[in-house]
Structure 1
Amino acid sequence: MSTEGAIAASNGDDTPRYRVAVRALCEFTARAGDLDLRFTPAPTAQQGIAGHQVVASRRGEHYEHEVTLEGRYGALIVRGRADGYDPVRQRLEEVKTRRGDIEAMPANQRALHWAQAKVYAALMCRERALETIEVALVYFDIEQQQESVLVETMARAELEVFFVAQCEHFIDWAEQELAHEAARSRTLSQLAFPHTDFRPGQRALAESVFKAISTRRDLMLQAPTGIGKTLGTLFPALKAMPGQRLDRLFFLTARTTGRRLALEALTTLGMAAACEDEAAHKDEAAHKDEAAHEEEGNAPGVRTLELIARDKACEHPELACHGESCPLASGFYDRLPAARQAAVQQGWLDHASLRAVALSHRICPYYLGQEMAHWCDVVIGDVNYWFDTSAMLYALTRQHQWRVSLLIDEAHNLVERGRAMYGAEFDQGRFAAARRDAPAALKRPLDRLWRQWKALLREHDGDYVCLEAPPRKLFNALSQFVTSVGDLMVDTPIGIESALLDAWFDAMQIGRIAELAGEVDPGHYLFDIERRGRSATLSLRNVVPAPLLAPRFEAAHATILFSATLSPGHYYRDQLGLAAMTPWLEMASPFEAGQLEVHLAGHISTRYRDRRASLVPIAELMARQFHQRPGNYLAFFSSFDYLEQVSEALANHAPDVPQWAQARRMSEAERDAFLARFTMTGQGIGFAVLGGIFGEGIDLPGERLIGAFVATLGLSQFNPVNEQMKARMETLFGDGYRYAYLYPGMTRVVQAAGRVIRSPEDRGVIHLIDDRFRRGDIQTLLPSWWARPVENTT
């Protein structure tokens, strides 16, 4: 049962009630003033838990830790866990872990903390029949391991008045939410599939998703492009929400195109129109009573929110995030209530709609989006929002005890994304830049950090060194550097130089990852040093994200992972931390083998040692195919160097064949220009790097793309890092080569080739260029609907 939401009260009372956590209540009612991000960042969740445990351990045996409290007011049930209570002194404690001087804390943040403490104290007075109680804010500095305690003695009567005031401030919103939840359930129960019939294979897909959510099981789905995966997963997931009493549905993707497709699917399902109808109806019936509202039958739609990255949502990137600098941060919390109400009335909050609401109320669109994540039924965003070390949606789910289902789009990307989220690096160049221009107050911590870094390099010579244990002295110096920069930021409200800020963020990430690495099997991490010229980098590489991702899957009611390339199933279970019995299903393809010619150029080797010899044969093959059937093609290579060499060879061999190429660093406009060349009447070959921005997530149907050349097996580069990864995989899974090289490589190949056939009407050709494609174990990793490859001998 969720902490927030409608419930039926016990003792025969059928009155709907709304549960709200103490923290959520106070964040709604007690925040005022500016948005201010100058204060030092909060500790990690792990550090916070450890800090609370330290404080509790310092109290006597009679001390009660994490006391569950609950109280009612009207339709509200207010519930939470007080950090601690001393029954001898009759003191309730609200513990906040932090860094730096508490005197520098913004006043509105301190007021929020007091509000939480006073609500807990009011509930404690009710439960223990106390007439007075000591209320204490305990600020615990995780760096100094010191407490700063603020205490007030308060009477039960004044605390009750405060509690009632917070509830009165929230009660109208709670009643609105109760009505919305009831109407949402009716809307979703009546939701119909928007088309006359399902696409081939789409019904089986939808039925599998509905069954998995209804039985609270995770599910891995391999479904080809063209089956309608996005609509085929969203529709059954929404239908399952009322019956499973789900609070939220999170659609998570690794690519911007995934967000766009999810919004299009929800629009097809009528969600956007339903929200617009709801907003119009509310305006029209603003003065009618609830009974009249129900009779008219205009039920609220499903509230939908699109979350985008902060750097893309920020209106004033040149300004700092506080009221003295940014006008959208000034008075943010004072204007938030009206903006929040307008946003729920809007209901459909894609990026454009959310921005319009925010700017009409003169507040920051990004942070309005963060707030609306509390109140929207379907949230669409990057996988980071659930799986990252500081994932917001995961944190909200735990805070509110929501029941949520996850839809993970293009789930094959989660392996590499997981490694990146749980990895970090110390880049010598970034810290050298910070050290050059650092203020005097940071000279000592930076000098100490630099000494430890140089000592580490002297101890470990060579271009590549894999460390047996993490360098604790360096990590301790990094921790002191983080504390010193935090203290400086408190004393320097105008901000600090960008190079120093970058180094500070890097140092904090290293500290977080080092802490996490210490909690898992050592074999799941690599600590290594790479030298390039005069510079060096220390990397904390996550090898297998499974133990860190597994708790995130366990926190969800059910998770549906889907992709066109999610094979073999055991590889993804092992890498992602899914249970061994997690079902893996492959959906039948809507395509036929006759739509796609698959040719195998087994007489060509694309191995590094053979590349020079492969240039002319590949150019001849490409030219021959183009002349046989002029049109648009994509050609994929393992590196930019290889791409450029084949491009030159093709230009020399067949200068009449138009060609264009992916550049090493492309702006968004340049990417658009590359794709714009693929017109319905166009002709030519676009050169791209396998596994890059054009290897998946692009849609070029019909004559916009009629073929692809894949001149590589997709294997990762052979280097000391990947060989170490292979060795770790061998130890963990007994199949190092396949786990480190073959399975990821073939996923890239199939994704790239999947750009060709996008609909049942498409016809195309694929050339697999490498003798290793002849091997049976590799051909088993190709899509089952493909025709058997035809060998090219010339």
Structure 2
Amino acid sequence: MSYSVAVRALCEFTAKTGDLDLRFTPAPTAQEGIAGHALVASRRGEGYQTEVALSGEFGPLRVRGRADGYDPALNRLEEVKTYRGDLQRMPDNHRHLHWAQVKVYGWLLCQQQSLTEIELALVYFDIGSQKETLLTEHHTAEDLRLFFESQCQRFIAWGEQELSHAKARNTDLEALTFPHSGFRQGQRQLAEAVYKAASTGCCLMAQAPTGIGKTLGTLFPLLKAVPRQGLDKVFFLAAKTPGRQLALDALRQIDAEPLRVLELVARDKACEHPENACHGESCPLASGFYERLPGARKAAAERRWLNREAIREVALAHQVCPYYLAQEMARWSDVVVGDYNYYFDSSALLHGLANANQWRVAVLVDEAHNLVERARKMYSAELDQLSLKVLRKNSPAVLKKPLERVGRTWSELNREQAGDYRAYDSPPTKLLNALQGAVTAITDYLTENPTAMDAALQDFYFEAMQFGRMAEQFGSHSLFDLSKRPGKGGASLSRLCLRNLIPAPFVGPRFAASHSTVLFSATLNPRHYYGDLLGLAPNTPWLEVDSPFSAEQLQVRIAADVSTRYQHRSASLAPITRLMARQFAERPGNYLAFFSSYDYLQQVASLFAREHPQAPIWLQARQMDEAARQAFIERFEAGGQGIGFAVLGGAFGEGIDLPGERLIGAFVATLGLPQLNPINEQLKLRMAAQFGAGYDYAYLYPGLQKVVQAAGRVIRTTEDRGVVHLIDDRFARPEVQRLLPSWWELEPRT
């Protein structure tokens, strides 16, 4: 049995040395890198070979990869690296790694073509000036063989360990049994469908009700499929922290002993020294990072269970950065639990690793109805004129002119637009040119002054680059719009948005890249809406699991005479307060009240507290940390009384479990149904143009589905009937009435 490793992965394991250094170095985008490689190849002579596939073996190791280019006439093998700025600023350990890669490729080519010697070249291509810097070394095949074998010898013990681990893992998973005495109603049906999807190598869309154990019902069959389908990794992707925790809890129940489980968390949550810059001269955990990484990596692999706390313990014991230790362990873990962005974002870590290492992966997408909106945000961009004005006042002298040019061009757009809102067929070329000029100037400035980064300049720089990238990919799936608002002195300020309306062109290839992806949620209807918007194949299998709950367990009352629209918000406060007070008096207990925003929540809570001080209340706050969120949930005690105020779509919108008397009812001031505003109208028009008629209904239905989910999610009691009040006058619309279950009740008009 051999262990396959990519050349880059081998060298990153054996040849990375020194500090972790993330000081600002303006790196080319992926598209710029591809274009740079193509331009370098186009400058070479006839017979120049690109993307040369190479492989070789040493003991149980099979090393493979693709060299950037080979010129048979010169007998020169080239490794092309694109960059921006001053090449002299490149850290020595980067150059050391690059030479290691080209030397390994050099031996593989010598072996493949029976060469006795070869010239190796590092070609550094400046994206800005489009100039090449060529560094060459001449090597005999024997020298390169010795180098190759030395790298393999440094890796071989780890490779053999990984082979042993994979064998033990697969043996254990083959014998794995379901952790409970039986499946819940609907859970077996879901598990069988997931296993079939993994076995046939297809995607699956599964709508299954809350409460049947979807997390366990998807993880268990996928782990069973790992040895039989030769899967390298399982990625469990969640929209929010509670979803990650549910996955970790399920994996604890499964308890597959050899399995390595990793939780990935955001950088700001993992950083031990947020006040320090991320390089060896500032942060003690970055200094000598790669010297201490092997010990930390070994300890983490032996630990196996690598949730946030475990990674932190291992990292601090070896004095390395917890965040980047977790990134390293993504290479060596069997199950990775993280946010959607780790696989679907444009620079997604897990997708990049899977592609580079040719992993065979299976992906689980939890609460998949959220992926449409999240993917739209990943591939959208916006700029606010006020941020630019503030930046212009405090910017370095060298940046004044390019930023002023952006400001002038932007103001011209404002003057040309008569109304407050307008959607355009395409982003204006003049503005894009001005932004590109500003990005280039800031890049040059930061290259020369890598420690002079201030927050406002950094924010604008990254936002402008994202805006430019999305403008390059503008198409029928996108919308450019300008929204004006009054500024000081009678002048207008505006916000520019490049909105991605249909994420299919961006996330669809991610589904194709996986062996199998399962998207599951309690609300994934209408199937064509989600399938079309996410770019799933038309023949993607669909599963709808029957609910184990009956209508008798839940009473849904609709207050269809209260408008929750923004313009009617002040008028809605009193009737909502009366409704909540009446329900609490009729049946004291624990309730959740959902509102569309923090401001709306505060207004209702303030009025309720003044008029009904006898009823305990507690409020979700902005930017609550995990301890504060846990404290909020713990207020829902069995037998307790009170109302927790939360935000729809926030931390408590889904993924929490409050069974029995911990929660007996809820109030949902919805705003979950689409409003008639210009952006939504544009969205409906674009989707109708893309997919045909009928998408007005499809657009409306997911909004209602979220309301239904909010109702069903928060009730777990089977001993007594739960009650949910849905508050929105749009439930009186005939097109909405047709979608409501017959057992939902209309409240009497107040």
TM-score of the two chains, using structure 1 as the length reference? 0.89
Q: Which amino acid aligns with 1:526?
A: L
Q: Which amino acid aligns with 2:469?
A: R
Matches within 5 A, 1:383-462: 383-462=340-419
Matched, 1:155 2:140: yes
Aligned to 2:5: 20
Distance 1:426 1:62, change over 3 A: same
**Residues 7-42 of structure 1, C-alpha deviation per residue, up to 9 Å, x if partnerless?**
xxxxxxxxx111111111111111100111125243
- Secondary structure at 1:523 match in 2: coil
Measure, in 2, the Cα distance between the counterparts of 1:771 and 1:484. 52
- Secondary structure at 1:123 match in 2: helix
2:114 to 115, 120, 129: 129
Matches within 5 A, 1:62-461: 62-271=47-256, 274=257, 301-461=258-418
Aligned to 2:490: none
- Structure 1 residue 598 displacement after superposition: 2.2
**Residues 190-210 of structure 1, C-alpha deviation per residue, up to 9 Å, x if partnerless?**
111111111121111111111
- Structure 1 residue 761 displacement after superposition: 4.8
Aligned to 1:296: none
- Structure 1 residue 696 displacement after superposition: 2.1
2:433 to 443, 459, 476: 476
Distance 1:666 1:174, change over 3 A: closer
Distance 1:157 1:445, change over 3 A: farther
Distance 1:444 1:650, change over 3 A: closer
Moved more, 655-664 or 678-687: 655-664
Q: Which amino acid aligns with 1:695?
A: G
Matched, 1:578 2:533: no
1:528 to 481, 485, 489: 481
Distance 1:166 1:608, change over 3 A: closer
- Secondary structure at 2:473 match in 1: helix
Aligned to 2:552: 594
Aligned to 1:738: 697
- Secondary structure at 1:501 match in 2: helix
**Residues 104-133 of structure 1, C-alpha deviation per residue, up to 9 Å, x if partnerless?**
100100111111111111111112222221
- Secondary structure at 2:476 match in 1: helix
Q: Which runs of 5+ in 1 are unaligned?
A: 1-15, 275-300
Distance 1:779 1:478, change over 3 A: same
2:651 to 686, 689, 693: 693
2:526 to 568, 571, 582: 568
Would the aligned equivalents of 1:38 and 1:490 in 2 still touch at CA under 8 Å? Answer: no
- Structure 1 residue 73 displacement after superposition: 1.2
Matched, 1:703 2:661: yes
**Residues 524-581 of structure 1, C-alpha deviation per residue, up to 9 Å, x if partnerless?**
1111112222232211111111111100000000011111111111111111111112
Matches within 5 A, 1:595-610: 595-604=553-562, 606=564
Measure, in 2, the Cα distance between the counterparts of 1:648 and 1:494. 46
Moved more, 757-766 or 404-413: 757-766
Q: Which amino acid aligns with 2:483?
A: E
Would the aligned equivalents of 1:433 and 1:500 in 2 still touch at CA under 8 Å? Answer: no
Distance 1:173 1:761, change over 3 A: farther
Measure, in 2, the Cα distance between the counterparts of 1:333 and 1:462. 56
Aligned to 2:423: 466
**Residues 444-499 of structure 1, C-alpha deviation per residue, up to 9 Å, x if partnerless?**
43334334333443444542232222233333333343343333334334342121
Would the aligned equivalents of 2:234 and 2:362 in 1 still touch at CA under 8 Å? Answer: yes
Distance 1:556 1:665, change over 3 A: closer
Q: Which amino acid aligns with 2:93?
A: N
Aligned to 1:289: none
- Structure 1 residue 511 displacement after superposition: 2.4
- Identity rate of aligned residues, in percent? 61
**Residues 652-671 of structure 1, C-alpha deviation per residue, up to 9 Å, x if partnerless?**
77564444444566566665
Would the aligned equivalents of 1:255 and 1:382 in 2 still touch at CA under 8 Å? Answer: yes
Would the aligned equivalents of 1:596 and 1:787 in 2 still touch at CA under 8 Å? Answer: no
Distance 1:781 1:248, change over 3 A: farther
- Secondary structure at 1:143 match in 2: coil
Distance 1:136 1:424, change over 3 A: same
Would the aligned equivalents of 2:26 and 2:85 in 1 still touch at CA under 8 Å? Answer: no
Q: Which amino acid aligns with 1:737?
A: D
Measure, in 2, the Cα distance between the counterparts of 1:681 and 1:439. 61
Distance 1:180 1:725, change over 3 A: same
Q: CA RMSD in A?
A: 2.4
Measure, in 2, the Cα distance between the counterparts of 1:762 and 1:95. 68
Matches within 5 A, 1:503-542: 503-517=460-474, 522-534=475-487, 535-542=493-500
Moved more, 305-314 or 694-703: 694-703
Distance 1:712 1:343, change over 3 A: closer
Would the aligned equivalents of 2:664 and 2:717 in 1 still touch at CA under 8 Å? Answer: no
Would the aligned equivalents of 2:414 and 2:484 in 1 still touch at CA under 8 Å? Answer: no
Measure, in 1, the Cα distance between the counterparts of 2:35 and 2:243. 38
**Residues 616-672 of structure 1, C-alpha deviation per residue, up to 9 Å, x if partnerless?**
554443333222211122233445565556556656775644444445665666655
**Residues 128-161 of structure 1, C-alpha deviation per residue, up to 9 Å, x if partnerless?**
2222212111111222222221122222221112
Q: Which amino acid aligns with 1:527?
A: F
Measure, in 2, the Cα distance between the counterparts of 1:573 and 1:713. 24
1:682 to 637, 640, 661: 640
Would the aligned equivalents of 2:553 and 2:717 in 1 still touch at CA under 8 Å? Answer: no
Q: Which amino acid aligns with 2:444?
A: D
Would the aligned equivalents of 1:138 and 1:147 in 2 still touch at CA under 8 Å? Answer: yes
- Structure 1 residue 165 displacement after superposition: 1.1
Would the aligned equivalents of 1:35 and 1:333 in 2 still touch at CA under 8 Å? Answer: yes
Q: Which amino acid aligns with 1:112?
A: L
Would the aligned equivalents of 1:599 and 1:791 in 2 still touch at CA under 8 Å? Answer: yes
Matched, 1:793 2:739: no
TM-score of the two chains, using structure 2 as the length reference? 0.94
Would the aligned equivalents of 2:663 and 2:716 in 1 still touch at CA under 8 Å? Answer: no
- Structure 1 residue 774 displacement after superposition: 5.5
- Structure 1 residue 413 displacement after superposition: 0.6
Measure, in 2, the Cα distance between the counterparts of 1:430 and 1:247. 45
Q: Which amino acid aligns with 2:714?
A: V
Moved more, 325-334 or 427-436: 427-436
Would the aligned equivalents of 1:100 and 1:483 in 2 still touch at CA under 8 Å? Answer: no
Q: How many residues align?
A: 743
Measure, in 2, the Cα distance between the counterparts of 1:467 and 1:217. 38
Distance 1:524 1:707, change over 3 A: same
- Secondary structure at 1:686 match in 2: strand
**Residues 575-611 of structure 1, C-alpha deviation per residue, up to 9 Å, x if partnerless?**
1111112122111222222211222334555556766
Measure, in 1, the Cα distance between the counterparts of 2:728 and 2:498. 34
Measure, in 2, the Cα distance between the counterparts of 1:259 and 1:127. 46
Q: Which runs of 5+ in 2 are unaligned?
A: 488-492
Measure, in 2, the Cα distance between the counterparts of 1:576 and 1:430. 32
